[in-house]
Amino acid sequence: MNILPPETQPDGLVWKTDCAGPERWTWSHYDLIHTAARSTIDDIDVLPDEARELLVGNDESLRIELDGETVFGVLPSLEGLLSEEEFNIAPWRFAAQPGVMVTARRAPVTALGEAYRFLGQGGRIEGPAALIDRIINGFTTLVRREVATLADRLDEAEDALLEGQDGAQSGLGTVIGMVRRQATRLKRMMAPLNRIFHDEDAPLPDWEIEEVYERLRRQIHAVADDLSALQDRARSLQDELSSRQAEQANQRLYIVSVVTTLMLPATFVTGFFGMNTGGMFLASGHGHLGTVLAGMICVLSLVAMFGFLKIRKLL
């Protein structure tokens, strides 16, 4: 294998490797930030014009196209690693033929760098199709690992919900909301990839890319299904939490309403006896028992109201 260090490469060519597989193949990678990259790619006459235009173009919409034996397109990867806080999608461009692989990017692509280091340490990648398989497989593996982590967070939230913990105090709403946001971001990231691999009738050239394409299609569908299931589960837990919070709020309002209703007659009695008017009932002729009698009237009115609510089945 011949791997030239980056500093010995011509302007715009980040690295070039001659790799051993069933047959020797060449991988050239270009940094499109360099102005010389476009002219260097334009000189690769083994690639069709459309493939070369895509490699140096500005359109970052994900797609895979075919021209004879050449497969080319734009695929996603990650700039860095997934996290709960932030992650960036780093599209990368490729054009592949039997024995030839050309890639290009504008932002750092973690998976391409890892593949380069793997080859530099003596690793073996069988060909261009195997390189595409490795990068997309690593991408979907990271997404699936993040889905598993989010599912574990939902398990904890579900257990707490089943134990009857208060959603506001335990932070269940925050956890479920975080899971839903992250799942939505992952699904938006995977949806275009799933769409371009969804066409089962796509004509593929008769080399190893066809087998890789089929395997990646199944894997991407599986990740998309896992994301949909995670979203549905998070939505169900959110609905359950909202229902319980609404039930708790209604129960508290019911208690407040009952207490207010029971105290309504007593409030009327105390208000009546509190009027500063002449000839007030029990104001004279009963000595010190006036206050006691007024209190008894309050209690009797409360008992009467309680009995009324019971008879009407409002309690």
Nearest C-alpha neighbor of 199 from the set 66, 61, 59: 66
Burial of 75 (0-12, 13-18, 19+ CB in 10 A): buried
Looking at residue 19, its pLDDT comes to 65
Smallest Cα–Cα separation from 185: which of 139, 231, 145, 219? 231
pLDDT of 3 reads: 42
pLDDT at residue 86, rounded to an integer: 62
Q: Domain residue spans in the chain?
A: 1-124, 255-311
Q: Which pLDDT score, from 0 to 100, does residue 287 have?
A: 54
How far is it, in rounded angstroms, from Cα 116 to Cα 123? 9
Give residue 170's pLDDT. Answer: 65
pLDDT for 8: 45
Tell me if 74 sits within 8 A of 62, measured CB to CB. Answer: yes
pLDDT at 72: 92
Residue with tokens 């299931």: 229
State whether residue 301 is helix, strand or coil: helix
CA distance 226 to 147: 7
Which pLDDT belongs to residue 158?
85
- Quick one: pLDDT at residue 93? 93
pLDDT above 70 as % of the chain: 80
Question: Under a CB-based contact definition with an 8 Å cutoff, are residues 4 and 120 in contact?
Answer: no
Structural domain 1-124, CATH architecture = 2-Layer Sandwich (3.30)
For residue 253, the model assigns a pLDDT of 86
- Taking a C-beta distance cutoff of 8 angstroms, is the pair 193, 62 a contact? yes
**Residue ranges of the chain with per-residue pLDDT less than 50:** 1-8
98: which residues sit within 8 A by CB, 6+ positions away?
23, 25, 69, 127, 128, 207
Q: What is the pLDDT of residue 94?
A: 94
